[in-house]
């Protein structure tokens, strides 16, 4: 993943389905998700030859994998994988991930790859947000 943990496109020889303007949009979405949830987000769009194992390997390459989550999408195989770090899993359950996958899938069916990723990242950020603790989150 790049230093910004925003996304990584398919490797050499594979034409990227994402334009520069769409990359900028995804970067903004990922930065906003990070500010909402406090966790790092990564988006990988490209081949996942080993399925979930490939996504787990990509997740491990993030800056702080324990406090990050990765959305990996393989458009040619129509596969979506969400990998969460151990710290993220405390606040983000499987149901929330399933909801994000459903939202992404509905956009992908309408041939909106970037819109689906945007929806998925936004939903995951909202669900992964640390719960407010009234006496601890307010200044004294």
Among the four given CATH numbers 3.40.640.10, 3.10.310.50, 3.40.50.720, 3.30.1490.440, the one describing domain 8-128: 3.10.310.50
Token code pair at residue 49? 């030859």
Query: What percent of the chain has pLDDT above 70?
Result: 80
Mind listing the pLDDT tens digit for each residue in 17-37?
688 899 999 999 999 999 999
Q: By C-alpha distance, which of 18, 12, 2, 3 is closest to 116?
A: 18
Mind listing the pLDDT tens digit for each residue in 72-113?
999 889 899 999 999 999 999 999 999 999 999 999 999 899
State yes or no: pLDDT of 129 exceeds 60.
yes
Spell out the SS3 assignment of 13-29: CCCCCCCHHHHHHHHHH
- The secondary structure of residue 117, as a DSSP letter, is H
- The secondary structure of residue 87, as a DSSP letter, is H
pTM of the predicted model as reported, rounded to 2 decimal places: 0.81
- pLDDT of 76: 87
């Amino acid at each position: 993943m790049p230093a910004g943990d925003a996304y990584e496109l398919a490797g050499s020889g594979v034409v990227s389905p994402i334009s520069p303007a769409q990359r900028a949009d995804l970067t903004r979405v990922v930065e906003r998700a990070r500010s909402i949830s406090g966790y790092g987000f990564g988006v990988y769009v490209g081949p996942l030859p080993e399925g979930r194992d490939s996504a787990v390997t990509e997740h491990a390459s993030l800056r702080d994998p324990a406090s990050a989550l990765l959305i990996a999408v393989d458009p040619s195989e129509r596969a979506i994988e969400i990998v969460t770090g151990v710290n993220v899993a405390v606040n983000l359950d499987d149901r929330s991930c399933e909801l994000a996958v459903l939202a992404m899938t509905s956009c992908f069916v309408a041939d909106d790859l970037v819109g689906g990723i945007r929806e998925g990242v936004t939903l995951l950020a909202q669900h992964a947000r640390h719960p407010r603790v009234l006496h601890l989150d307010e200044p004294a």
